[in-house]
Structure 1
Amino acid sequence: MSLDIEENYLGVESSVTGKRWVSRVKDERLAKALSQKFEIHDVLARVLAARDIGIDDANHFLNPTIRSSLPDPSHLLDMDLAIERIIKAIHDGETIGILGDYDVDGATSSSLLVRFFGHLGQSVPVYIPDRQKEGYGPNLPALLKLKEKGASLVITVDCGTTAYSVLEEAAENDIDIIVIDHHVGEPRLPNGALVINPNRADEVSPCKQLAAVGVTFLLVVGINRALRTLNWFEEGHKEPDLISLLDLVALGTICDVVPLTGVNRAIVTQGLKVMARRGNLGISALANVAEVDQKLDAYHAGFVLGPRVNAGGRVGESGLGVRLLTTNDSGEADACAVLLNNYNMERQTIEKVVQDAAVEQAAQQVEDNRPLILVAGKDWHPGVIGIVAGRLRERFNLPAFVVSLSDGLGKGSGRSIKGVTLGSAVLAANQAGILLNGGGHNMAAGFTVEESKLNELRVYLEKHVLRQLSGISIKPILAVDGVVSTTGVTADLIEILDRAGPFGSGNPRPRFVIPRAMVTFAKVVGEDHVSVTLGNADGVGKLKGIAFRSVENPIGQTLINAHGSPVHIAGNLRVNSWQNRINPQIFIDDVATI
């Protein structure tokens, strides 16, 4: 029987976290047809059906390739003009400078260009603005510093679309600008700059889900093609191996949490294969310092490598991530990796202080039935406010903004829920004159506001969010792909499920329920995680599980106090590799009492 997406899965109307469980699988007949047509495991077929992968799309989904997925770079506005300008710079011996954002998307975009131009024999200076001192995006002093290093052409990556005055001043100082970006743009464009952005207002590109590093890769592909057409590689120049650079593209794409569908899926699938070889000395060093001794995958990129690369821009040296990812010296790679690891530990300490204060404010706003969370604090470290906003969003299932106040100004970062586009809300507030600057995309946004206008901003954003939420239920839902038993969870099953990966935004990791599970053992590990051993209701089977950051929330408390009572356990199936032993386990997302 086909399960309606709105039916409660296993009758769970409200789990211990207040979520209603529903099935992702809307068409059981499609799942059966996929299994028969492609001779794949029933569980994998259900996962594909749950993601609306039809018969015609399944083969490409399971075997994505760059060749069949990558669009022609020239379809993007200003792309051909930008390629022409860059070719001229190479031919005339001009220095090309790069100015990148301080997050992982910016660092990988910058590093991709450094490595590509390096293959062409071009040495390119890079400038990454300091998050606290300079803020987001290009600024004139930074551009002038690149000019002092000889740059007559500067490529900005992951920023610049709305930097009108700065880029106009750059033009007045004889600096040509090419913007590579993916943030939502306004109808207005910077005068004198070429803007390659699938999300600029007049762009009709279907590739609106690309991260900046994906757009940068299209630029690199276009430049390489143009040089080949000009027979440049037949004149003693070795053609770069662009596939070898896909580890950087995969890392930035995963960490910017863009949907892993379409071209992004192909890029990340191939990029993870490159990453697994650890050919990039920086990525290898960072994996080593993080004690990852297994094959690198999307999880490691998003939750192990990414936070460490980000830590340089958040609390340390903004350019350290680019140094790590572009060095060809193993000693320098090791040194950068150690520094970034230390910065990440510092970031975690700072984050906890800000998060504790933010949660206290947010809880009161939720009690007051606010449609969004907007919390602010004096001198909260701006490097962690985005992370804390994400934590608030997860905890309260509301759009969340966290604002750091200093010297009469507030720097804010927001994270959204499904159904609310933050980028458009912040852009509208900026156009209304409430903000000094601001922008973003569907699920994240940032801004600068005068402290005196914070309440005005709150009222404006609340109205904007309420309009978007009109008619939409915001009761949290947990989508489930199926049921498994503790004895049915094996390393082989997880390997089969991994064929539907890479997992991330737009292609969530499959979630399964162990119905009527018995918690036979539970203990707190680390500071706030709960580790359990699970058995089936009949007492057969043994499966390890862990619930992260749960010791003080209902999930952890329920597991610790289960006392032999059966519970439904929902989570993702993973393998734990330790000392050459591979054991299946479940990462617990939710629990429902019976």
Structure 2
Amino acid sequence: MTTSGYFLDVESSALGRPWRPRLDSGGELRALAIAQVGGQDELIARVLAGRGVEPEAVERYLDPTLRELMPDPFVMRDMAAATERLKRAVEQGERVAIFGDYDVDGACSAALLSEYLVACGCETIVHIPDRVTEGYGPNVEAITGFAAKGAKLVVTVDCGAVSYEPFQHACRLGLDVIVFDHHQAPETLPPALALVDPNRQDDLSGLGNLCAAGVVFMALVALNRALRESGFFSGREPPDLLAALDLVALATVADVVPLTGLNRAFVVRGLQVMRQRRRPGLTALFDVAGADGPPRPYHLGFMIGPRINAGGRIGDAALGARLLTTSDEIEARAIAAELDRLNRARQV
């Protein structure tokens, strides 16, 4: 701020409004400290100060790491019960049904869980509901279908925190239910074996800013640890969890959760994974969308996310999850082209 009281001495904008700095006196001092002590550019220092970043936290904010920011997954309520049941499913090679929401977060969460379980030798049934004919969240018909296909465990992702009747039906059929959600949960919870949701009222983890894919990733970290300790991976290579951070980053940006703390680390690391172009589905979607340069948050929020969402809005809701899990480049290109077509139709 200059002596004139106007930022950079510019008295007004193109609309004739005064161009004044938004920082209060405390913010001005923070910006000065960030610039002088941390050696940051003045404008970057002002942006960081405006976001409430303290000088000693600048390095962590600009270069967040999972090592520093990742808490113990078991701080979340019911995580221990969910981990134990998933561990048993893996060890016994059970067929696991995964029910996800029809948006980007649901598709990424379902793909995350299915990919890990398949890598451990399980067979999965992934079901994404049709928005028009099934509506939001688990339903009795889908649960009945899971039982008929031989599933013993149902896992809902990005939904399930309020699904009373479907879970009661699952209990009658002898199915165990695990919920990984992040939506606000009611005081009286539905009858699930485990309901992991940082936004349930009795969860004190402080992780309420996570999207569902972030919650699922935390669960997979817990499961990976439990399987390693039990000797399950003796003689076999465990799944590469860090390679799955591309899905967590996509869901985190597309679900518009706050990019602070652990979420920032998820996105920074996930973008690094995306640049390696190892997931055929995302590679095909980036190409068909015409994304320029290396993956950036803009691409995820405005080019990739809307195309995956288009399947759930006006097409086949399962296309997104199929795209993200396929290892077939030809299939990936076909699905990406269809999602691009659906997105253009949705825009019209």
- Using the size of structure 1 for normalisation, the TM-score is 0.55
Matches within 5 A, 1:351-366: none
Could you tell me how far 1:32 is from its partner in structure 2? 1.8
Matches within 5 A, 1:188-199: 188-199=188-199
Matches within 5 A, 1:285-296: 285-296=284-295
Q: Per-residue CA shift, 1:385-438, capped at 9, x if unaligned?
A: xxxxxxxxxxxxxxxxxxxxxxxxxxxxxxxxxxxxxxxxxxxxxxxxxxxxxx
1:485 aligned partner: none
Could you tell me how far 1:293 is from its partner in structure 2? 3.7
Change (3 A) 1:308 1:20: farther
Could you tell me how far 1:123 is from its partner in structure 2? 2.2
Could you tell me how far 1:21 is from its partner in structure 2? 6.9
Change (3 A) 1:339 1:222: same
1:300 aligned partner: 299
Question: Partners in 2 of 1:167 and 1:74 — Cα distance?
Answer: 24
Secondary structure at the aligned position of 1:71 is classed as coil
Using CA pairs below 8 Å that are at least 6 residues apart, which structure has the higher relative contact order?
Answer: 2
Question: Partners in 2 of 1:273 and 1:196 — Cα distance?
Answer: 28
Question: Partners in 1 of 2:19 and 2:196 — Cα distance?
Answer: 42
Paired residue type of 1:29 = L
Secondary structure at the aligned position of 1:190 is classed as coil
2:102 aligned partner: 102
Could you tell me how far 1:230 is from its partner in structure 2? 1.0
2:60 aligned partner: 60
Change (3 A) 1:153 1:12: farther
1:487 aligned partner: none
Which one has the largest radius of gyration?
1
Matches within 5 A, 1:336-415: 336-349=335-348
Question: Partners in 1 of 2:42 and 2:20 — Cα distance?
Answer: 19
1:558 aligned partner: none
Change (3 A) 1:78 1:13: same
Matches within 5 A, 1:30-69: 30-69=30-69
Change (3 A) 1:321 1:202: same
Could you tell me how far 1:304 is from its partner in structure 2? 0.3
Could you tell me how far 1:192 is from its partner in structure 2? 3.8
Q: Kindly indicate which of the two structures has a greater share of residues assigned to helix.
A: 2
Question: Partners in 2 of 1:24 and 1:95 — Cα distance?
Answer: 56
2:146 aligned partner: 146
Could you tell me how far 1:149 is from its partner in structure 2? 2.0
Contact 1:102 1:130 in 2 (8 A): yes
Question: Partners in 1 of 2:19 and 2:166 — Cα distance?
Answer: 49
Question: Partners in 1 of 2:207 and 2:197 — Cα distance?
Answer: 9
Could you tell me how far 1:202 is from its partner in structure 2? 1.5
Secondary structure at the aligned position of 2:168 is classed as helix
Change (3 A) 1:90 1:150: same
Question: Partners in 2 of 1:145 and 1:11 — Cα distance?
Answer: 67
2:72 aligned partner: 72
Question: Partners in 1 of 2:92 and 2:238 — Cα distance?
Answer: 19
Question: Partners in 2 of 1:74 and 1:22 — Cα distance?
Answer: 47
Could you tell me how far 1:186 is from its partner in structure 2? 1.1
Question: Partners in 2 of 1:242 and 1:334 — Cα distance?
Answer: 25
1:418 aligned partner: none
2:155 aligned partner: 155
- Using the size of structure 2 for normalisation, the TM-score is 0.94
1:25 paired residue among 23, 26, 42: 23
Matches within 5 A, 1:148-227: 148-227=148-227
Secondary structure at the aligned position of 1:126 is classed as strand
Could you tell me how far 1:114 is from its partner in structure 2? 1.4
Change (3 A) 1:115 1:24: farther
Paired residue type of 1:25 = L
Q: Kindly indicate which of the two structures has a greater share of residues assigned to strand.
A: 1
Change (3 A) 1:66 1:24: farther
1:228 aligned partner: 228
Q: Per-residue CA shift, 1:497-552, capped at 9, x if unaligned?
A: xxxxxxxxxxxxxxxxxxxxxxxxxxxxxxxxxxxxxxxxxxxxxxxxxxxxxxxx
Q: What RMSD in Å do the two structures reach over aligned CA positions?
A: 2.1
Question: Partners in 2 of 1:313 and 1:290 — Cα distance?
Answer: 18
Count of aligned residue pairs for this structure pair: 342
Secondary structure at the aligned position of 2:152 is classed as strand
2:127 aligned partner: 127
Secondary structure at the aligned position of 1:305 is classed as helix
2:236 aligned partner: 237
Question: Partners in 2 of 1:239 and 1:142 — Cα distance?
Answer: 31
Q: Which runs of 5+ in 1 are unaligned?
A: 350-594
Question: Partners in 2 of 1:35 and 1:44 — Cα distance?
Answer: 8
Question: Partners in 1 of 2:84 and 2:121 — Cα distance?
Answer: 18
Secondary structure at the aligned position of 1:155 is classed as strand
Contact 1:14 1:21 in 2 (8 A): no
Secondary structure at the aligned position of 1:151 is classed as coil
Moved more, 187-196 or 323-332: 187-196
Question: Partners in 1 of 2:231 and 2:20 — Cα distance?
Answer: 57
Change (3 A) 1:13 1:162: farther
Contact 1:167 1:193 in 2 (8 A): no
Question: Partners in 2 of 1:303 and 1:216 — Cα distance?
Answer: 24
Could you tell me how far 1:24 is from its partner in structure 2? 3.9
Question: Partners in 1 of 2:11 and 2:181 — Cα distance?
Answer: 45
Contact 2:147 2:173 in 1 (8 A): no
Paired residue type of 2:339 = L
Paired residue type of 1:283 = L
Matches within 5 A, 1:243-322: 243-322=242-321
